[in-house]
Amino acid sequence: MSTLAALRPRILRPVAPPPSRAVRLEGAAKQVLESSRGRLTLVAGTFAIAFAVVGMRLVDLALSKPAADAREFELPRANDATGYAADRADIVDRSGALVATSVPTASLYADPRDIKDAREAASRLKTVLTDIKAEDLETRLAAEGRSFVWIRRNLTPRQQYEINRLGIPGFYFQREDKRIYPHGSLMAHVVGFADIDGKGLGGVEQAIESRLKGGREPVRLSIDLRLQHIVRQELQAAITEFSAIGGGAVIMDARTGEILSMVSLPDFDPNAPGSAPADNRFNRNTLGLYEMGSTFKTFALAMALDAGTATMKSSFDAREPIRISRFTINDDHAQKRWLTTPEVFKHSSNIGAAKMSLEVGAEGQKAFMKKLGMLDPVSLELPELGKPKYPRDWRPINVMTIAFGHGLSVTPIHLATGIAAVVNGGILHSPTLLKRPEGEPAPGRQVLKPSTSENMRRLMRLVVENGTGKRAEAPGYWIGGKTGTAEKVSRGGYKKSARLSSFVAAFPIYDPRYVVVVMVDEPKGTKKTHGFATGGWVAAPAVQRIVQRMGPLVGLPPVEETPEMRRLLMVDSLPQPKEKSVAAR
């Protein structure tokens, strides 16, 4: 003990209790006392500072507000007002109706290491998932060295419950979002579909993948679900009536380029895209390239009027078919006389349109088509976009055939976009499937003179009033349009029996709001149509029914003619004598 005490440093040696009276220490004792006091002060000071820091922090915590999101990682947090956080944004129609959404489902997987008896597990699981192959499942469950095997993705809640009740060890559920399309095939070609991992594989789902993935705000389409339904019904009716192989229809807002409806038939169910033939996934409206036929005369006339090579009073010799090299250009509704510009359009004269275009020339026609976007794929929020086919060297024969819609293949969306520009005052709006912000003018560029557009509206009204498109007349809606019947190209030439019958319309034509395009693929004439399967017999009545049904929905009541309208639609050059007006040649 004493040796230990001797080994201790001197300062730690126990100090004798202080005497009752103040004692003055001298020498070594005083030194010891002073140094120990100094050290005590140091220690006390350190502690005081430490406590002061702690105290300050306490005051700080008590007074300051808790940091936002400080608890984010500790507690499950409810989402904000937008609700359920799916891994993919919803898609809604222009009025907000749900078109595509992701719902949580359970997916079943197994850990083969935890499965004792693969055969028994497989046979028991088969009692719930009856369509599964037991042998196949057994080999997968018995797989060596694997710890994860998908059994079935996206179970129904009932299946999940039943499997849970079986209580087989080694099976687990994984929560997954499943993309569903409540409207089934109604929007199939617009929305497209997503695969089991939530990746867009077609339509808008694929085209704006980056915006949908992880997005919270629903994407608003320009499509109106109600119009989509009407258009699909009427198009289907036309296809059924004329035993056609398919068809396409588009409604476009003539003032903004927004596509309000786009239907391609036959279609498929995006909830089960594999269940329909792959051909059904083909979008006729954006991917299908067709020689549109006479509907293209709208562009031929617009071009000639805009270039000034023809006026509403010009006339053209349509007495004889045009013979050029080995081709003969004839008229379907041959009048065999001189035709004025309005008459060329009204009777859908190939000869007249061809001669009219020749006057503009190849250069002019190509430039015009380019300007109208007929030579490039449209820019649209879809991956399925067809690139127009046109002749490499634009010879006079091409000029003439393109005038009546042969030799240049475009998609129905091209046609709708072009027609919208022709009727809306000459402004070309790029088509879109996404709703444009309201109140903002849609971007566009002037491609035609307003006066040309005004004349074209008159001509299009003429066709419906007493031309080839009479069957599209819907009283009070003032439809203007143009029929088209094209023979489809088959190996080495045109097939007389395989036609593409179409009708393009704009209404109300005195101040167009909507452009409607209906196209029926390979219709066959019926008794009712006297065997005819042309655009005027097949597509025009469909357009009429569509317009009559959509009018009330979009808030357009039928209106009676006013003097102002009469003035806007009057074609004053129509009753011209045919033989006299040779001047324009």
Binding-site ranges for other proteins (CB under 8 A): 75-79, 83-84, 86, 97-99, 101, 103-104, 180, 182-184, 186, 225-226, 228-229, 233, 474-477, 548-549, 551-552, 557-558
CB of 98 or CB of 129, closer to other proteins: 98
Is residue 294 part of the annotated active site? The answer reads: yes
- Strands 427-428, 445-446: pairing kind: antiparallel
Go through 187-217 and write b for each residue having 16 or more CB atoms within 10 A of its CB, e for each that does not: bbbbbbbbeeebebebbbbbbbbeebeeeee
Helices (H), 424-515: 450-466
We find the least distance from the C-beta atom of residue 431 to other proteins, in angstroms, to be: 23
What b/e sequence results for 76-105 when a residue is b if at least 16 CB atoms lie within 10 Å of its CB, and e otherwise? Answer: eeeeeeeeeebebbbbbbbeeeebbbbeeb
Are residues 283 and 411 in contact, defined by beta-carbon separation less than 8 angstroms? no
Nearer to other proteins, 101 or 314 (CB): 101
Nearer to other proteins, 50 or 103 (CB): 103
User: Which pairs count as long-range contacts for 365-368, CB under 8 Å and 24+ apart, including other chains?
Assistant: 365/303, 365/394, 365/399, 365/402, 365/403, 366/394, 368/299, 368/303, 368/306, 368/307
Cis, bond preceding 508 (omega within 30 deg of 0) = yes
Q: 38 vs 552, which CB is nearer to other proteins? A: 552
Q: For the chain, how big is the Rg over CA atoms in Å?
A: 39
**Residue 365: Cβ-neighbour burial (10 angstroms; 0-12, 13-18, 19+):** buried
Residues recorded for the chain: 585
Minimum CB–partner distance for residue 559 and other proteins (Å): 9
d(CA 537, CA 307): 33
For residue 84, the minimal CB distance to other proteins (Å) is: 4
Using the minimum distance from each CB to other proteins, give the nearer residue, 184 or 361: 184
Q: Are 199 and 209 in contact (CB under 8 A)?
A: yes
**3-class secondary structure, 353:** helix
Nearest approach, Cβ of residue 108 and other proteins (Å) = 19
| Greatest pairwise CA separation for the chain in angstroms | 147
- Minimum Å distance from CB 551 to other proteins? 6
**Least spacing, CB of residue 48 vs other proteins, in Å:** 18
- For 407, residues 6+ apart whose C-beta sits below 8 A from its C-beta are 291, 390, 391, 398, 401
Instruction: Check 185, 264, 294, 314 and give the catalytic one.
Output: 294
Nearer to other proteins, 96 or 441 (CB): 96
Beta carbon nearer to other proteins, 77 or 323: 77
Q: Residue 476 CB, nearest distance to other proteins (Å)? A: 5
Q: Which sequence positions are flagged as catalytic?
A: 294
